[in-house]
Structure 1
Amino acid sequence: MKILHASAEYFPYIKMGGLADMLASLTKEQAKSEEVYVALPFIGGLGKEPQWTGKEYPALLSKDAKTDSLIVSVLMASRFLEAEESGVKLYFFQSDLFQSLNSIYGHADEHFRFAMFSYACYALSQMLKVDVFHAHDWHTALSVALQKDSPFPIPSVFTIHNLAYQGDHPFWMTGFLKEEPFRLVTSPFDHNGKCNYMKAGILSAGQITTVSPGYREETLTEPNGFGLSYCLNQRASDYSGILNGIDSDEWNAKIDKRIYKTFTDSNWKEGKLKNKTELYKEIGRPFLPLDAPLVGLIGRLTYQKGFPTFLKALLERRHLPHRYVVLGSGDPETENAFFHLSETIPDIFYFYKGYNEGLAHKIEAASDFFLMPSLFEPCGLNQMYSHVYGSIPIVSRVGGLKDTVEESNLLPYKTGIVFEPNDVGSLGYALERASDLFRSDERDVVVKNIMNLDWSWEKRKKEYQLVYTRSIELQI
């Protein structure tokens, strides 16, 4: 089977969140048995130099090159450059629209940029004659709409990674979608008086998926449907929740070259101690006590991640022995609060603004616990990474977090600590339970259990295969 994925992110070239890691690890697994291609933008700030093959492809179908419109001229001046990574063919969309960008999101004209990219991905799928076209999030949703309206449609799958970001734009900004080469009827994409790219993907795809069973159920009702739950209910029989997996070559305490000392479930105490000691030296906190539990936090500092709840719980539970290391950037108010704590209580709190892949691995390896206070979480990957590194997750009971972390007396071994979202008291009590667990003999049992959980892609790949088959059967 020939599969083309279209995405705005792909690790290690463009990474802003979990989409990049998810797609890179999924396609790596798929490439073991299928022909797998990925289309992504060619931005100026790529995280790695691609291994070019020398092949190029146009970004415009010849049948659509018959007008003199601005859109056609932009696409004619663009092209795909082919590269290869871990058995996957990569197609970088080289265009003036993206070439000058150092980051992929947050630009005023992204409604136009991603529309052009979506058309180019659709055109590439036609040229490559793939069996399945798989688009990810609103940035590539229009490519699915183009497939549906094509005289030669390719079976399509649309994956929702985060319904909070929908790519909704005023209709006066998206009038170009009615012109050549799009020729789209945009009225069905109307949501609250705007052209909603996410809705276009939901209505147009042969099959729809999201990244965990728990998040699927949450998005079928408001407010977690962010206004689109009625659309998802209309497509409920075509809507699947498939839990993400992780790349065990990238995230593996046994072989990770980024951490200070590798370890297994048999010598995890020695490994944790060494990694914690060296991490404290690297961040300038060598005076922190090694016998106090270290809690790691990594992520974008956005409303979704629930950091205000964490701040309140931390201050209310100052008496606990926990130390905290935070890596992330985003909301300026949250950043300022974290900087303030890092300066005023350096014996308890450390904050690194930005993202650093190597430091993220070191924090996972050194931490005794890993906190994810999300208000909602489509899947989450860090709780799975934490399992692999013996860092016990403390998570809110939402989305993919509740699918992957359980705390129950009915279980032989718990796989983490769970609290209620947006509840300061519940999070505070979870931190207290973490303190008790850190000192107990049960911790050794829990750590050995979570380090042997299987979060690989092998099972999930088969679930995607079934979705692809359903989409192909619908097309016949």
Structure 2
Amino acid sequence: MMMRVLHVCTEIYPLLKTGGLADVAAALPAAQVEAGGDARVLVPGFPALRAGVAGQELVAELAPAFGAGPIRLYCGTLPGSAVPAYVIDAPELYDRPGNPYADAGNRPYADNAQRFALLGWIAAQLAQGLDPAWQPQVVHAHDWHAGLAPAYLKAAEQAGGRRLAGSVQTIHNLAYQGNFPSHVFGYLRLPAHFFDIEGIEFHGQCSFLKAGLYFADKITTVSPTYAREIQHAEQGCGLDGLLRTRAHDLAGILNGVDDAVWNPATDGLIARHYTIGSRAGKLACKNALQREAGLAIRDDGPLFVVVSRLTEQKGLHLVLAALPEIVRRGGQIMLLGSGDAVLESAFAAAAAAHPQSVAVRIGYDEDLAHRLVAAGDAILVPSRFEPCGLTQLYGLKYGALPLVRRVGGLADTVVDCSLENMGDDLATGFVFDSFDEAGIEAALRRAFALYARGADWDAVQERGMRQQFGWDTAAAQYAALYRQIAT
């Protein structure tokens, strides 16, 4: 059965990326098409998306709504793939430079509720036949930005007295919920009874993510462990009660790695290619990054790399606290990221104090991220919580042993180098439990100890590179889920 699925999202690699959602939005529909499905995406007409989708043709014109003038819907194709993409052309809402969600001062746009309400509303319109040539059987909403899509779909079904399409809400990070003041509900074009505890209302506000979690037929998140964690208060972000009531509709499906983008054997962004069976190129990548970053050119200690937002959630204060120990033991570290200004300054100061051992690049650079993962002996992901994490999967693929905290998708994808796991040929990295300096320092000691035993390090590195996290597995799991709810 060729399932017609509409993915509703706000960013897609390589056209527009602020986080891992863009990688998922590019890879999952492509994997579904490759498996014989009929997947399409719907995105807002942000400048990069409006310009990057190829061969756009006008599908429909709609009257002004949500603060936008006349709205046009186009359909083209994502570059480098066979995935059709609908683009909402509403310049008053979407045609803004820079970050798609916030202004130059990093303040969320005041009209974000209207901007993303339109996205969900158009998704429901497509389920009602807005494009005469194609109508989805499943509407798959990603994160809070698309959370109103299941609500608009349910409202249309209630009004019309018939089922239009199944709906799925995927949580990529429960901490981001799209909560707005209650007065926003007045212009969302939803029935009055939807503003209720059994609906979109959340502590007196309108919550776009809660709307998706309440009205969608099925809920997914991006790892099995995170699916369990969010049903409890510590990581439930206030929505754990709702998620417990919907536990029978909640599934954790691990993200995958797009082999066309992340593969050390073919990656055009790294200094030298290498494979599982021939890894000499990895040392060449390490030395090339050391030269680029001004680090000492040596291989007598491990090179740790970090590619991350600089936030408390990501555990970067733990990395900062561990820096002196890494340097003292003869290791090196390079960080790429941006975020908290205090962390940015502290890492920059550490690099200035130890230029041979510590390098820092503030900002984000996709090409440099590939070079770091290819060069690193180990990659640090010490998160307080982590729905799935793609960074550790890239690390495994490139032979950069992940050093992670045992939470969410990190717990599902990395096996610690304990003696028993080494003995059973299971170890793929370093895992710690307590979110504190003692926890990360114990994991770092294991990393240095293993690095000193070259044959054992090589065995763990090879085992990690052999792990399979392809999107074909995730696509098959989603297909099974869709079959339960498709019209």
Given the alignment, which residue of 82, 88, 100 partners 2:83? 88
User: What amino acid is the match of 1:228?
Assistant: L
Residue in 2 that maps onto 1:218: 229
Tell me whether 1:132 sits opposite 2:138 in the alignment: yes
Residue in 1 that maps onto 2:105: none
Residue in 2 that maps onto 1:373: 382
How many positions carry a matched residue from both structures?
A: 460
Residue in 1 that maps onto 2:255: 244
User: What amino acid is the match of 1:424?
Assistant: E
Q: 1:439 offset after TM fit, Å?
A: 1.4
The within-5 A match list for 1:434-449 is 434-440=447-453, 441-449=455-463
Change in CA separation of 1:372 and 1:293 when aligned onto 2, cut-off 3 Å: same
**How far apart, in 2, do the equivalents of 1:471 and 1:14 lie?**
30
Q: 1:75 offset after TM fit, Å?
A: 5.8
The within-5 A match list for 1:41-52 is 41-45=44-48, 49-52=51-54
User: What amino acid is the match of 1:444?
Assistant: D
- Secondary structure (helix, strand or coil) at the match of 2:404 reads strand
- Secondary structure (helix, strand or coil) at the match of 2:148 reads helix
How big is each residue's C-alpha offset from its partner over 1:197-230, in whole Å with a ceiling of 9 and x where there is no partner?
Answer: 1110000001110000000000000120000000
- Secondary structure (helix, strand or coil) at the match of 2:65 reads helix
Q: Indicate if the aligned counterparts of 2:53 and 2:85 stay in contact, CA closer than 8 A.
A: no
Given the alignment, which residue of 316, 321, 338 partners 1:329? 338
Given the alignment, which residue of 20, 23, 31 partners 1:21? 23
Q: 1:422 offset after TM fit, Å?
A: 1.6
Q: Indicate if the aligned counterparts of 2:142 and 2:169 stay in contact, CA closer than 8 A.
A: yes
**How far apart, in 1, do the equivalents of 2:274 and 2:230 lie?**
39
Q: Indicate if the aligned counterparts of 1:40 and 1:90 stay in contact, CA closer than 8 A.
A: yes
**How far apart, in 1, do the equivalents of 2:311 and 2:193 lie?**
34
Q: Indicate if the aligned counterparts of 1:210 and 1:216 stay in contact, CA closer than 8 A.
A: yes
How big is each residue's C-alpha offset from its partner over 1:370-402, in whole Å with a ceiling of 9 and x where there is no partner?
Answer: 010100000001111111111111000100000
How big is each residue's C-alpha offset from its partner over 1:150-177, in whole Å with a ceiling of 9 and x where there is no partner?
Answer: 1253111110000000001110233212
Q: Indicate if the aligned counterparts of 2:126 and 2:136 stay in contact, CA closer than 8 A.
A: no
User: What amino acid is the match of 1:101?
Assistant: P
Change in CA separation of 1:445 and 1:59 when aligned onto 2, cut-off 3 Å: farther
The within-5 A match list for 1:85-164 is 85=79, 86-96=81-91, 97-106=93-102, 107-108=108-109, 109-126=111-128, 127=130, 128-150=134-156, 151=160, 152-164=163-175
Residue in 2 that maps onto 1:412: 425
TM-score normalised by the chain length of structure 2: 0.90
Q: Indicate if the aligned counterparts of 1:59 and 1:124 stay in contact, CA closer than 8 A.
A: no
Among all aligned residue pairs of Structure 1 and Structure 2, give the percentage whose two residues are the same amino acid. Answer: 36
User: What amino acid is the match of 1:275?
Assistant: C
Q: Indicate if the aligned counterparts of 1:374 and 1:421 stay in contact, CA closer than 8 A.
A: no
Moved more, 412-421 or 141-150: 412-421
Residue in 2 that maps onto 1:34: 37
Q: 1:363 offset after TM fit, Å?
A: 0.5
**How far apart, in 2, do the equivalents of 1:141 and 1:420 lie?**
33
Gaps of 5+ in 2: 103-107
Q: 1:148 offset after TM fit, Å?
A: 1.0
**How far apart, in 2, do the equivalents of 1:120 and 1:57 lie?**
12
- Secondary structure (helix, strand or coil) at the match of 1:246 reads coil
Q: 1:266 offset after TM fit, Å?
A: 2.4
TM-score normalised by the chain length of structure 1: 0.92
Residue in 2 that maps onto 1:5: 7
Change in CA separation of 1:316 and 1:273 when aligned onto 2, cut-off 3 Å: closer
User: What amino acid is the match of 1:435?
Assistant: F
Q: Indicate if the aligned counterparts of 2:66 and 2:115 stay in contact, CA closer than 8 A.
A: no
Change in CA separation of 1:77 and 1:40 when aligned onto 2, cut-off 3 Å: closer
Q: 1:53 offset after TM fit, Å?
A: 2.0
**How far apart, in 1, do the equivalents of 2:317 and 2:389 lie?**
19
How big is each residue's C-alpha offset from its partner over 1:114-136, in whole Å with a ceiling of 9 and x where there is no partner?
Answer: 11222122223332311111000
Change in CA separation of 1:143 and 1:51 when aligned onto 2, cut-off 3 Å: closer
Tell me whether 1:463 sits opposite 2:474 in the alignment: no
User: What amino acid is the match of 2:89?
Assistant: Q
**How far apart, in 1, do the equivalents of 2:22 and 2:53 lie?**
18
Residue in 2 that maps onto 1:302: 311
How big is each residue's C-alpha offset from its partner over 1:435-467, in whole Å with a ceiling of 9 and x where there is no partner?
Answer: 111111201111111111111112211110111
Change in CA separation of 1:464 and 1:71 when aligned onto 2, cut-off 3 Å: same
Q: 1:316 offset after TM fit, Å?
A: 4.8
Q: Indicate if the aligned counterparts of 2:387 and 2:409 stay in contact, CA closer than 8 A.
A: yes
Residue in 2 that maps onto 1:276: 286
**How far apart, in 1, do the equivalents of 2:414 and 2:247 lie?**
26
**Cα RMSD, aligned residues only:** 1.9
Q: 1:302 offset after TM fit, Å?
A: 2.1
